[in-house]
Amino acid sequence: MFNDSIRRMPRPRDVVGMSTQELRDTFLINTLFVPGKITGTFTDLDRLVVGGAMPLTPIDLPNHKETGRAFFLERREMGILNVAGAGRVVADNKTFALEKLDCVYLPMGTKSVRFESNDAKDPAKFYFLSCPAHAAYPMAMMKSTEVAPVNLGAHETSNKRTIYKFIHQGGMQSCQLVMGLTALEPGNVWNSFPSHTHWRRTEIYFYFDLGDKIVSHFLGEPQESRHLFMHNDEVALSPNWSMHFGVGAGNYKFIWGMAGENQVFDDMDAVKPLDLK
């Protein structure tokens, strides 16, 4: 169920005149997990692919014509994070058992990838990002309990949250992919605020564990802001010129992933709240 078309990003000035539906058609991916299927969307955001696998029986990762290669990860790397029931990722006959919020990194050159659930009645949901790579790093797995948490924000500003970095310079090594998880504490609703942009990297947010709550995700240039109302298990795409932050009707989690010119986590250009329009 990989999309045959590439999701292409507009210029900043083109966003100004977009309707609500045009914004959603451009920046929102709302069908990620389909029981028994793999979904995937190619983007022009540093050639990132965003997808999900929800196996009821084992599912093999297919190739796609857009890779231009003999198999999907011949010239790509991939990060996979499980957000539901227990399951397994089998890569080149090596098995990784993933509980909820565990992560696995697959390097360029990985020939076969299979997704499995331990229990079809409580299936795993594997969220994945893939980007081009020019070097192969070791295949690796990291349990959520192995990640050193980073605490940010405060209850007074409603943005107290914990960041878990999985694929980054100080964790699982990669060519250019960076990937991690942010969890807001109860009573806190703002993410990535105060906001920022980073011209050297693009970014993708996947919101989950919302239940029936919603998140208003803000995008666009700081002086030309727009928003998307996000529901559970939905993705927001962020070109390098765009802000990416949000506020929810309650606490939630989101997975962030980046690719671009460098992997420095705090390489960003801050935007003062009073400068937003």
**d(C-alpha 150, C-alpha 163), whole Å:** 5
Domain with residue 197: its CATH number is 2.60.120.10
Total domains in the chain come to 1
248 and 211 Cβ atoms separated by less than 8 Å:
no
Q: Tell me the whole-structure pTM to 2 decimals.
A: 0.95
**H runs (alpha helix) in the chain:** 12-15, 20-27
Domain holding 158, by residue range, is: 2-275
Task: Write out the chain's pLDDT in tens, 277 residues.
Answer: 888 889 999 999 999 999 999 999 999 999 999 999 999 999 999 999 999 999 999 999 999 999 999 999 999 999 999 999 999 999 999 999 999 999 999 999 999 999 999 999 999 999 999 999 999 999 999 999 999 899 999 999 999 999 999 999 889 999 999 999 999 999 999 998 888 788 778 999 999 999 999 999 999 999 999 999 999 999 999 999 999 999 999 999 999 999 987 777 677 778 888 888 9
Q: What separation in angstroms does the CA of 186 have from each of 154, 211, 247, 252?
A: 12, 14, 13, 8
**DSSP helix/strand/coil, 64:** coil
Q: Give the C-alpha distances (Å, rounded to integers) separating 203 from 53, 103, 189, 199.
A: 20, 18, 20, 10
